[in-house]
Structure 1
Amino acid sequence: MNSSYVIKPNDESTPAKVVLLTFDDGPKDEKMINSLMDTLDKHHAKAIFFVNGNRVKRQPKLLKMIHDRDQIIGNHAWDHEDLQKMSSSEAKKQVTDVQQIVKDIIGEKPQFFRPPFGSGNEALKDAVKEEGMLYMTWSNGSLDWDKSTKNRPDKVIQNVLDQLHPGSNILMHELPWTVDALDELLTLLEKKGYSFVDPRAIELQSR
């Protein structure tokens, strides 16, 4: 992953036309998560589910379900708040508390971190690195969180396609219209020659 959070192949034998699929702000709803994972399985795709600690605490079984279905857990801080506005120690606790609760539930800590709102600083990046995680934001935003996209699966798809580039790090959320959009989106990406990178193949040191 480069400094713009784009996925780059390690060597020429690795396909450049890949995308990284990510879903933020969960886990929220069992039905939506299962539907997302059913679609991912249909397309033989893996994704990072960036979770908030407060949601994990309320519904630990949903975190375990994501893990048990062989998808990847990422750290999205304990609360969905702007970490840049916190003290370094407060922001660090937002990171480490998620690491601990995830380990307690699934037996391993996340290896990827995304700050809420994509908002961070060098102190936060250092804290994430101390935890052995790769810090990332995104390079392709679906805008599924924006009011203009609410209840518009077609808009989710078009927003991703409008920003599509080799190595796209695609930001999505656990939302009903994103669930409805996913199968068609992945089908269109495949038709354009793209495949889905397994997050476990990503080097944990950014370049």
Structure 2
Amino acid sequence: MIIPQKNGGLIKSKDHARTTGAKPQELLDKYQAYYQGPDEKVIYLTFDEGGNDITYIKQIADVLNKNDVQATFFLTRNYIKNEPEFMNDLVKHGHVIGNHSWHHYDMPTLANSLSVDKFVAEITETEKTYMEVTGQQMKKVFRFPKGGGSERAMKMVKDLGYSTYFWSHAYYDYASDVSGEEALKTMMEHYHNGAIYLLHPSNKGNYEAMDTFIKNMKKLGYQFDTVDHIPQTKEK
């Protein structure tokens, strides 16, 4: 399992080699949790949005659409509820909207007998709102807010029918702006086969770097896809 910045568990790729999870693969498989895709020239762009006051999410989506690239957007319930037109536009262009909980809580703190109903509601209320907004069933893809993800919490997520998606590349882009040049530099330094990129659309640098990054990766023979196309682990 890759639990980044928060717990210092992110193992960055070196020389574009595939990364190694901070938890045993057997544990990831048990709960259908993933931090990278298959060993193929595919990049999985993912964007986490908790409803920040400043966000470049719509500009990023425009760049993706112009480049015919589909990505996964892990969104909170209130953002989905408040942006129905944008949600439907994302779906129309083939993007996947993943479940990022209702209130963006640290979910492992709710994974106990006293808070189980609250834990479940964080996920089920988000998917209900998605259905109301788009008229479609939500894809069963989930990302823990705040980089959390205990074994008990992963089991509860799996019991609700979801797979969990961590990431194999992230950087300090969630607390302050970085330049487009700096964002592009770290994106290009750590790509690898099957990489799942975690990016925050609240950071302008990610928006400024996105078009060039996509074009660079396509020149290198890479394709882009959504995380729901990562082959599912077979039940053990």
- Give the TM interval when normalised to the shorter protein: 0.7 to 0.9
Query: Match of 1:40, as an amino acid?
Result: L
**1:83 maps onto 2:107 in alignment:** yes
Equivalent pair of 2:50/2:76 in contact (CA under 8 Å) = yes
Cα root mean square deviation, aligned: 2.5
Equivalent pair of 1:134/1:205 in contact (CA under 8 Å) = no
1:135 CA displacement: 0.5
Equivalent pair of 2:140/2:162 in contact (CA under 8 Å) = yes
Match of 2:156? 127
Shift in CA distance, 169/39, structure 1 to aligned 2, threshold 3 Å: same
Say how many residue pairs are matched: 198
Superposition misfits of 4+ residues, deviation over 4 angstroms: 26-29
Shift in CA distance, 57/63, structure 1 to aligned 2, threshold 3 Å: same
**Deviation readout 1:10-30 (Å, 9 max, x if unpaired):** xxxxxx11110111115668x
Specify every segment of 5 or more residues in structure 2 that has no aligned partner in the other structure, as ranges: 1-24, 29-33
Equivalent pair of 2:173/2:199 in contact (CA under 8 Å) = yes
Equivalent pair of 1:27/1:63 in contact (CA under 8 Å) = no
Give TM-score, length-normalised by structure 2: 0.74
Query: Match of 1:166, as an amino acid?
Result: N
**Deviation readout 1:115-138 (Å, 9 max, x if unpaired):** 012201223222322332211111
Shift in CA distance, 81/206, structure 1 to aligned 2, threshold 3 Å: farther
1 CA distance for matches of 2:234 and 2:147? 16
Equivalent pair of 2:182/2:205 in contact (CA under 8 Å) = no
Match of 1:12? none
Give TM-score, length-normalised by structure 1: 0.83
SS in 1 for 2:146: helix
1:190 CA displacement: 1.9
